[in-house]
Amino acid sequence: MQSSTPATQALDSLGIPYRLFVHQGKVHSLEQAARERDLSSEQIVRSLVFRIETGSFALVLVAGPAKVAWPKLRHHLGVSRITTASAEEVVQATGYAPGTVSPLGLSMPLPILADRGLLKHEVISIGAGIPNAGIILRGADLLTALHPVLDDFCE
* pLDDT (tens digit per residue) in 18-68: 999 999 999 999 999 999 999 999 999 999 999 999 899 999 999 999 999
pLDDT at 3: 76
- Cβ–Cβ < 8 Å for 124, 19: no
Query: What is the distance between the alpha carbons of residues 48 and 58, in angstroms, rounded to a whole number?
Result: 8
Task: Walk me through the domains of the chain, giving residue ranges and CATH numbers.
Answer: 6-151 (3.90.960.10)
**The pLDDT of residue 1 is above 90:** no
What are the backbone dihedrals phi and psi of residue 93, each rounded to the nearest 5 degrees, phi first?
-80, -30
- pTM of the predicted protein model: 0.95
CA distance 98 to 103: 12
DSSP 68: B
Residue 31's pLDDT is 95
Kindly report, residue by residue over 83-134, the tens digit of the pLDDT.
Answer: 999 999 999 999 999 999 999 999 999 999 999 999 999 999 999 999 999 9
**Does residue 2 carry a pLDDT above 80?**
no
